[in-house]
Amino acid sequence: MIVWMFWLPAIALTALVLGLVALAVMRGARVGADGEEGKRDIRIYAAQLREIDRDRERGIVSGDEAERLRAETARRLLDADRKARADLSESPRSARTVVLVALLAVPLLAGAIYWNTGQYAYEDMPLALRHQAAQEARAARPSQTELETAWMRDPNRMPPPEPEPRYLELMQQLRAALVERPNDLQGYRLLATNEANLGNHAAAAAAWVRVIEIQGEDADPRDMEQLAENMILATGGIVSPEAEVVIERLLQREPRNGTARYYLGLMFAQTGRPDLTFRLWRGLLEDSQPGDPWVPAIRGTIEQLAEIAGVRYTLPPIEAVGARGPSAADMAAAANMTPEQRQEMIGNMVEGLAARLANQGGTPEEWARLINALGTLGQTDRARAILGEARTVFADQPQALALINAAGERLGASD
């Protein structure tokens, strides 16, 4: 029954359209066959006959000459009439051919298009069923390990840059040392950061897990952010069930955490609930500052998400982002930080920006900001490496390259 609810109206509508096309073609054929050309010839010859009769009455032509002219003109008049009648009988034939071709071609073409792009007997899917399907897709996601394996085998994955041999040697020493010191909190933080720098995000995530385990219930939310981000980077941007658990734990600790809200919205988008993504990202965008790493990604997709969610939404100008300003809790937390904690917070933000630029790209302003930040933190070798990468990325964009080179000059690494 559901099938015929689609096919019957479709067939009826197709027949109606074809009928209107046939009517228009036949009517146009008759108008063309009975057109002005044939009528004009007949009118001309009829007028010539009347003119011959008047000339005969006036004595301009003799009787024999008038008869000869009448006979010739009458013959031409009959020929014109026969030609008009022949056109009238032939044109509908060609019109009928056009109609026949349309009757065959239109249904066949429509059927071919539907066969290629449609879905036969696809039933109506109410909103409740759509939400149920999204929930099932969410529950059926592959595990973190499966996603990591698939991403490592992905032919489109960009391999990380080759590090210096000395750097690799130091990393081997660090890994070996931590085997002997399994509770070295700062050591594991250092290991996690440098594994991420090497592009070993799965190893970085494992190190962040150890950092959190050492801290226990008092784990730093910034460390949880790093864990979630590296887990997602290790899967090529897919939020696994395990990463979702980390995000939920982080939101329990900090309900307004920007990183967690962004990745939770990403998870909903990946599992068929873009409406929830829009709600999360709209609030996050209003709470964010223009320099927050997730702002460009949200601004690039939120209008499309609003359209899917059925919401009228106008993207605010970039100056309006973060108009709410930091919350009282944010200000109090920053005021209570020690210099070491502030430095660590800055370091985590820099690492997040570096990871996003490496995997997703960004604006020249963001690349310059990363170079400047690394220089400020004393990581000049790494800043120079990123400077070279940025010059390659923006080699064909003079304005962007000028901005990158300005950051390089501040770093003292201009060529």
- Compute the Cα dihedral for 124, 130, 132, 137 and give only its sign: positive
Higher pLDDT, 316 or 218: 218
φ, ψ (nearest 5 deg) of residue 240: -80, 165
Average pLDDT rounded to a whole number, residues 263-285: 91
Q: What is the pLDDT of residue 311?
A: 82
**Domain spans, the chain:** 2-117, 143-154+164-316, 363-415
Confidence of residue 5 (pLDDT cuts 50, 70, 90): low
33-37, 144-148, 296-300: which is most confident:
144-148
Amino acid at 291: G
Higher pLDDT, 45 or 166: 166
Higher pLDDT, 242 or 86: 242
In sequence order, what are the residues at sequence separation of 6 or more whose Cβ sits closer than 8 angstroms to the Cβ of residue 52? 61, 66, 69, 70, 73
In sequence order, what are the residues at sequence separation of 6 or more whose Cβ sits closer than 8 angstroms to the Cβ of residue 352? 225, 226, 229, 259, 293
Average pLDDT rounded to a whole number, residues 128-132: 78
Confidence of residue 221 (pLDDT cuts 50, 70, 90): very high
Residue 114 to residues 6, 89, 111, 117, 287, Cα–Cα distance (Å): 13, 38, 5, 5, 45
Q: Spell out the alpha helix ranges (H) of 1-139.
A: 2-33, 36-58, 63-117, 127-139
73-77, 162-166, 190-194, 319-323: which is most confident:
190-194
Residue 206 has pLDDT above 90, yes or no: yes
Tokens 């239109």 — which residue?
106
Average pLDDT rounded to a whole number, residues 267-293: 89
d(CA 63, CA 145): 113
Q: What is the pLDDT of residue 10?
A: 72
d(CA 192, CA 169): 16
The whole-model pTM stands at 0.54
Confidence of residue 277 (pLDDT cuts 50, 70, 90): very high
Q: 143-154+164-316: what fold?
A: 1.25.40
Confidence of residue 26 (pLDDT cuts 50, 70, 90): low
Residue 415 has pLDDT above 90, yes or no: no
φ, ψ (nearest 5 deg) of residue 162: -75, 120
Q: At what angle do helices 258-270 and 241-253 cross, to 10 degrees?
A: 150
Q: How many C-beta neighbours within 10 Å does residue 314 have?
A: 7
Tens-place pLDDT, residues 305-341: 988 888 888 887 765 555 444 444 544 554 556 666 6
Lowest mean pLDDT among 1-15, 97-111, 189-203, 262-276: 1-15
Lowest mean pLDDT among 31-35, 284-288, 289-293, 391-395: 31-35
Confidence of residue 190 (pLDDT cuts 50, 70, 90): very high
Average pLDDT rounded to a whole number, residues 11-40: 63
Consecutive H or E run containing 399 = helix 398-411
